[in-house]
Amino acid sequence: MIAIMLAGAVAALCSLLGTRFLIKWFSARGQGQPILGKEDLGPEHHMGKQGTPTMGGLAIVASALIGWLVAHMRDIAFSDQAMIVWVGILGMSFMGFLDDWIKVRKRHNRGIFWKQKNYITMLMSFGIAWWLVAATGIEESISITRAGDLGLEVPQVVWVLWAGLIIWATTNAVNVTDGLDGLAGGSALMGFGAFMIISYWTFRNPEIYSVVNPLDMGVLAASFAGACLGFLWWNAAPARIFMGDVGALAIGAALASLALTLNTHLLLILICGINVVEAGSVAIQMGVFKLSGRKRRLFKMSPIHHHFELSGWPETTVIIRFWLLSGVLVALALAIFIGDFTAVVGD
């Protein structure tokens, strides 16, 4: 438990200081976030935020990595799973960094990869999933709270496809959520907190849960929780810096990978519930628009947080209410996890 607390504390401090440094560094060079205007069907009401420093996700990823490494001074073994997960996180983060950098240099909110990015991240997601299967003893089943709870053992190729889609969908869902000050970071903080609890619970009950080195995954979750906490100090409305794709893609990959390595695949739907709602609103909006012959839209604007803004909700009201919703869903996920544990112990 000390290692988990150490990882979170170190990551939070590094993120707090590192984000402040990035704000100064980008501001001094005039490097800020471009905003899509009316001509691009973007959130015109956010044009006042144009020029705000971005790529704050660099501080999140770097701080989480430092916190994770420092925690291993407590004689915690470096697990194969965590190492592979970190390669995936850093790969996704680099992809986001390229897109962010091009946006800033071109002063337009669509980088050169805005069309190809989905395909590239999808291939990367399948690669991460395959590597986890090929190099670790990860359970090849579809589960909710623990391996085998549904009795859905699947062929290796099916598991790789399933896991790859989870990673890809989560990275994109977090990216879609990152549209209001602190919304993505706050909801991610709750998600990492949930995985930190699940990891430690799993570590303390190895006879029930079949997870390779769950303590290392708990340290990873705590590191990202701390990094998100430190970042939120500067990202809370009105934001002094944005996360950018470099942070959103990394956070999404980390959340999905934690769900896969801890055998809580379907529980991720609740832990990342607000991200599911946000991404789902975009899919629904596009579906209605296409089915109506490109004439009708269900929401005033998607993702759905913009719909509520255009309906008259202040931005801070949308953020806080979405945080509350995220907290309720995360609490429900933990209740299901603990309830299953209680049922197993009772048997």
* Angle at CA of residue 240, ends 238 and 243, nearest 5°: 105
pLDDT tens digit sequence for 196-215: 999 999 999 998 998 888 99
**Beta-bridge partner residues of 142:** 152
pLDDT top residue among 225 and 298:
225
148 Cβ partners below 8 Å, 6+ apart? 139, 141, 210
pLDDT tens digit sequence for 15-25: 999 999 999 98
φ, ψ of residue 164 in degrees (nearest 5):
-60, -40
CB distance 19 to 230 below 8 Å: yes
Q: Helix, strand, coil % (nearest 5) of the chain? A: 70, 0, 30
CB distance 109 to 103 below 8 Å: yes
Token pair in block for residue 325: 């919703």
Look at residue 36 and tell me whether its pLDDT is greater than 70.
Answer: no
φ, ψ of residue 207 in degrees (nearest 5):
-70, -15
Give, in order, the Cα–Cα distances in Å from 155 to each of 139, 140, 160.
11, 7, 9
DSSP strand pairing (141-142 vs 152-153):
antiparallel
pLDDT given at position 295: 78
CB distance 132 to 170 below 8 Å: no
Q: How confident is the model at residue 318 (pLDDT cuts 50, 70, 90)?
A: very high
Look at residue 45 and tell me whether its pLDDT is greater than 60.
Answer: no
pLDDT tens digit sequence for 141-199: 999 999 888 888 899 999 999 999 999 999 999 999 988 889 999 999 999 999 999 99
**Beta-bridge partner residues of 234:** none
CA dist., res. 285 & res. 287, Å (int): 5
Q: How confident is the model at residue 40 (pLDDT cuts 50, 70, 90)?
A: very low
pLDDT tens digit sequence for 229-259: 999 999 998 888 999 999 999 999 999 999 9
Q: How many CB atoms lie within 10 A of CB 37?
A: 15
Averaged pLDDT of the chain: 89
pLDDT given at position 37: 46
Q: How confident is the model at residue 299 (pLDDT cuts 50, 70, 90)?
A: confident
pLDDT top residue among 36 and 125:
125
* Angle at CA of residue 218, ends 230 and 234, nearest 5°: 10
pLDDT given at position 212: 82
CA dist., res. 267 & res. 4, Å (int): 22
Region 119-125: mean pLDDT is 92
Query: Is the link from the previous residue into 238 a cis peptide, with omega within 30 of 0?
Result: yes
CA dist., res. 241 & res. 175, Å (int): 16
Region 91-104: mean pLDDT is 88
pLDDT tens digit sequence for 257-293: 999 999 999 999 999 999 999 999 999 999 988 888 8
Q: How confident is the model at residue 314 (pLDDT cuts 50, 70, 90)?
A: very high
Query: Is the link from the previous residue into 314 a cis peptide, with omega within 30 of 0?
Result: no
Token pair in block for residue 83: 């190492």
Burial 151-167 (b: 16+ CB within 10 A, else e): ebeeeeeebbebbbebb
CB distance 173 to 250 below 8 Å: no
pLDDT tens digit sequence for 49-87: 666 888 899 999 999 999 999 999 877 878 899 999 999
